[in-house]
Amino acid sequence: MSRNPVHVNLAMQCIANIGSKDMAEAFGQEIPRLLVSADAIDVVKQSAALCLLRLFRTSPEVIPSGEWTSRIIHLLNDQHMGVVTAAVSLIEALVRHSSEEYRGCVSLAVSRLSRIVTSSYQDLQDYTYYFVPAPWLSVKLLRLLQNYPPPDDPGVRGRLNECLETILNKAQEPPKSKKVQHSNAKNAVLMEAISLIIHSDSEPQLLVRACNQLGQFLTHRETNLRYLALESMCLLATSEFSHEAVKKHQETVINALKTERDVSVRQRAVDLLYAMCDRTNAETIVQEMLNYLESADYSIREEMVLKVAILAEKYAMDYTWYVDVILNLIRIAGDYVSEEVWYRVIQIVVNREDVQGYAAKTVFEALQAPACHENMVKVGGYILGEFGNLIAGDARSAPAVQFKLLHSKYHLCSAPTRALLLSTYVKYINLFPEIKSQIQDVLHSDNNLRSADAELQQRASEYLSLSVHATTDVLATVLEEMPPFPERESSILAILKKKSGRIPDISKTPRAANPHASERPQGLGTSDTPTLLSTAGAAVQAPAAAAPTNTGLLVDVLGDLGGGGTSTAAAPPATNGAHPASPAGGDYGAAAAAVHDQQAAVKKFICKNNGVLFENDILQIGIKSEYRLNLGRVGIFFGNKTPMALTGFSTSVTLPDGLTNRLTVQAKPVDDNIDGGAQVQQTVNFELIEEYVGMPDLSVSFMYSGVQQKLHLKLPVTPNKFIEPTEMNSEAFFARWKNLSGPAQEAQKIFKAKLPMDASLGGRLAGFGMQLLEGVDPNPENFVCAGILHGRGVQVGSLLRLEPNKQAQMYRLTIRSSKEKTSQVLCDLLVDQF
Amino acid sequence: MHFMLLFSRQGKLRLQKWYCAYPEKQKKKTTRELIATVLSRKAKMCSFLEWKDLKIVYKRYASLYFCCAIDSDDNELLTLEIIHRYVELLDKYFGSVCELDIIFNFEKAFFMLDELLLGGEIQETEQEERAEGHHGAGPAPGGGDASGLL
């Protein structure tokens, strides 16, 4: 190896430019050594870092681990800014590969960033770019930090927040130069800081400031900045802390939709409107999007149609509005309305009686337009065939009129639509016997009976003979109204996701995280009636898994029409995609779905100690737990459901941020191998210090047939488990009850019953951990309980009273405890259980 | 950064640098598509556009378009400044650089680019060092018409 740095550098330039696998093998040893060697000059180190990065991308195994890790991380402290800049690129790639190993870089990156941010532009002379201190390095450090959650160490965290605040403050200072380069570099750092703030999603104050800053950019005269502001705001809208702040800019965004001259900026505005939409503004936003759709660019129409359809469905307070929106969609942009959209509106109309009459009337009116889109004819044909009788009383839409109207469109339509219309006609024979002969004439015509299209021919002849031979009873049975469709997720959302990966997941609206969600007015979407998108949260989060149902949909909607009354079995929603054979790529969706299921499952454990926590095709996880005073022992059983061994099995039980000082956890080791069909047990001990909100996390990872599998679950260890029941008589109970009358000592919730109000109630309540006291409350309908919550060194007496109201199907739950907060914590836990 | 293209207003490719391996056929197709897309955009439009799963950042200097493809989570504004820094470097080296300098001294333009970016990552953001590295490597040819890119 040459000692001349120019030669070395030249060689590395060459390696980095070619970067083949052979080179990675040949130089994988040398280059790391150059990178950290004491006598290599800065320029060589710089090249070495980037050269190594290039080789690492070619074959990740070139990177040495162990002691090298910390030496590489410490390059962040290098005196030469150029070396640091190059090294951060390398470190970021390594962090993405194995983030745990490089966790140490967080604090170093924060302090480096802080030094740059607080320096004035004169300090870093060579690395100041148009009066901005080291913009490239700053941006890279900010990006590096986005690979980790906010730092745990309060000192580091505070320092990072200071940096971010300084960057936000600097944005308000007057520019030091009029050049576009100055503002670009400055805003590049600012936007990256905002990305980090959004990524951390933990500092409400910073999020709101970021949002205000972006709000300023929305009206900036630079198109580039408007574009970026819209894009970042889209992410901000999904955070519970800033969702409301984003909504303040609704007007501006709508305005952007109307006035921006650049289609890519308008597209961003559409994305943002979609992301900021919730129940309060859905009507306005959907209307604006519809308005815009009339003049929208062809390239984005299809995506917009999907978005409008989803928003209308998700936030519909009133299904007549939903039907109007979708019919408008078809009218305005019929060509871009995909099949899924109109299948969906039919599903909803069929499943919801209250909207059927309205839908029939509306489509009837829409069909009267001289030219209407074929999709409109399809929807109209289907709905009138099912519910035409609901509007037949009106002379203007009498059976014969309806039939004539539909048939006037018949000859302009393609074969599949005609086939659908034929089915409508045969349904009319059942609904309106008075026009039977007219319909038979149509079926009998050569156009249909001898159609060149086999499907049409078959339908015409079969329907005809059905109408001739079958008795009215048989007709009525065969042509009965469609049964409701099985509830399932909206396939539209899946398609939208497939179309563009950058759509923020509106299924996790900020509401979900809001503890007061249950008190807000709820739309139809989340009420207990059969619902649309909202109940299907699992599949919404798992686009990959939901996709296969499209074909099932087709069978459902058209199958019954063609065949008559038999209800076709729906394709089962493929939520359990973690099938052994599925490729690694598909597992993401499945895992997301599984985790969602688990979140629902974990709630059941609040009132019971044993059961199955999680199950998929590979693994079953069961829980057996025992609690005594402030100690708990949880046995976790991992069962391998496959015939093959799971290798590299490891688990970890960790406490999320808020729990660390409130609960201790100690997990016994577990075998790293589970043979096929075998079960292993892991014991985890807990000790309660004081009450908390949340649950410990359980992460499981293992290799199954060469593919890494990871699960992130919640362990159902909740504070109520540490309650010991106490007996007391009526007198004692009410004496204590009166004693605990401070406003902070009491928590009360009024909520609707989700489960039947019957005898099982007492059993469930007893599972919560308190003693159910019989004959204590003067009203026999009411339940009262007493217990003591044991923490380390503290004991909190708690009393509970549950008053059911059977007429209203509501409960009032009151909990009083001797320690503040405990009541609220217990109350929140119990609310979901009835 | 995935690749960088320089092309003229007439759609002639002047310089290309690929930091990820693509088959020749795909490179040609990409180049053709991108040139067509970028040239059809109007001056006031924003400099970023989404293209497949990448982001394109472009900027026009005189008659020459500089066009970079970056990951969708990369910083767009700073990529604009990478372009600018490159133009500054070229300008410093050639002295009021123009399209002809790049046509006739494309190898020098590549050297400069290699000094700035290595493997698609920014290597040295500081101006003096890079430019000096190449002075003495050959006489700086003053050439072309007087109106430079900057």
Q: What is the ipTM of this complex?
A: 0.88
Residue A521 has pLDDT above 70, yes or no: no
Distance separating alpha carbons of residues B102 and B113, to the nearest angstrom: 12
Distance separating alpha carbons of residues B57 and B41, to the nearest angstrom: 13
Q: Which of chain A's residues have a Cβ under 8 Å away from the Cβ of B84?
A: 181, 184
What is the reported pLDDT for A488?
Answer: 61
- Averaged over B37-58, what is the pLDDT? 89
Q: Work out the minimum CA distance from A440 to partner chain B, whole angstroms.
A: 53
* Mean pLDDT taken over chain A: 80
Distance separating alpha carbons of residues A827 and A823, to the nearest angstrom: 6
A568-587: pLDDT as tens digits: 333 333 333 333 333 333 34
Q: Minimum mean pLDDT among A140-149, A286-295, A614-623, A751-760: which range?
A: A751-760
State whether residue A666 is helix, strand or coil: strand
Note whether A34 contacts B: Cβ–Cβ < 8 A.
no
Q: Work out the minimum CA distance from A368 to partner chain B, whole angstroms.
A: 42
- Partner residue opposite B75 with nearest CB, options A50, A129, A191: A191
Distance separating alpha carbons of residues B13 and B31, to the nearest angstrom: 8
- Residue keyed to tokens 């490729």: A583
Question: How remote is the C-alpha of A37 from its chain's centroid?
Answer: 47
A423-451: pLDDT as tens digits: 888 888 888 888 888 888 888 887 788 88
Q: Give the whole-number percent of chain A exceeding pLDDT 90.
A: 12
- Look up residue A269 and give its amino acid: A
- Look up residue B22 and give its amino acid: Y
Q: Mutation target for B interface from A13, A41, A235: give the one with most B CBs within 10 A.
A: A13
Closest CA to A276 of A264, A288, A265: A288
State whether residue A439 is helix, strand or coil: helix
The sign of the torsion formed by the CA atoms of A229, A235, A236, A237 equals positive
Q: What are the backbone dihedrals phi and psi of residue A231, each rounded to the nearest 5 degrees, phi first?
A: -65, -45
Distance separating alpha carbons of residues B19 and A460, to the nearest angstrom: 62
| Alpha-carbon separation of residue A714 from A151, A215, A653, A669, A769 (angstroms) | 22, 37, 9, 19, 20
A142-191: pLDDT as tens digits: 999 999 999 989 999 999 999 999 999 998 888 888 888 999 999 999 99
Note whether A266 contacts B: Cβ–Cβ < 8 A.
no
Residue A63 has pLDDT above 80, yes or no: no
Q: Are A784 and A800 a contacting pair, CB within 8 Å?
A: yes
* Cβ <8 Å between B122 and A139: no
Q: Which of chain A's residues have a Cβ under 8 Å away from the Cβ of B50?
A: 264
Residue of B nearest to A126 (CA): B126
* Cβ <8 Å between A264 and B50: yes
Q: Minimum mean pLDDT among A69-83, A336-350, A397-411, A490-504: which range?
A: A490-504
Fold of B3-122: Beta-Lactamase (3.30.450)
Note whether A299 contacts B: Cβ–Cβ < 8 A.
no
Closest CA to A383 of A413, A419, A427: A427
Provide the pLDDT confidence category of residue B69 given band limits of 50, 70 and 90: very high
Distance separating alpha carbons of residues A362 and A345, to the nearest angstrom: 13
**What is this structure's pTM?**
0.62
Q: Which of chain B's residues have a Cβ under 8 Å away from the Cβ of A224?
A: 46-48, 76-77, 80
- Partner residue opposite A16 with nearest CB, options B48, B50, B119: B119
* Cβ <8 Å between A129 and B77: no
Between CA A589 and CA A343, with CA A277 as vertex, the angle to 5 degrees is 60
Bridge partners of A627, per DSSP, are: A632
Fill in the DSSP letter of residue A242. T
* Cβ <8 Å between B122 and A89: yes
CB pairs under 8 A between A and B: 116
Fold of A555-717: Immunoglobulin-like (2.60.40)
**Which residues are within 8 A (CB) of A455 and not within 5 positions of it... i.e. 6 or more apart?**
A415, A419
Question: How remote is the C-alpha of A173 from its chain's centroid?
Answer: 38
Fill in the DSSP letter of residue A174. P
Distance separating alpha carbons of residues A610 and A622, to the nearest angstrom: 8
CATH superfamily, domain A720-833, is: TATA-Binding Protein (3.30.310.10)
| Alpha-carbon separation of residue A370 from A72, A367, A405, A422 (angstroms) | 73, 8, 10, 21
Note whether A262 contacts B: Cβ–Cβ < 8 A.
yes
Q: Which of chain A's residues have a Cβ under 8 Å away from the Cβ of B38?
A: none
Q: Which of chain A's residues have a Cβ under 8 Å away from the Cβ of B125?
A: 82, 85, 127, 129, 134-137
Distance separating alpha carbons of residues B140 and B150, to the nearest angstrom: 17
Q: Minimum mean pLDDT among A238-242, A377-381, A653-657, A759-763: which range?
A: A759-763
- Averaged over B103-111, what is the pLDDT? 90
- List chain B domain ranges: 3-122
Q: Work out the minimum CA distance from A6 to partner chain B, whole angstroms.
A: 10
* Cβ <8 Å between B123 and A85: yes
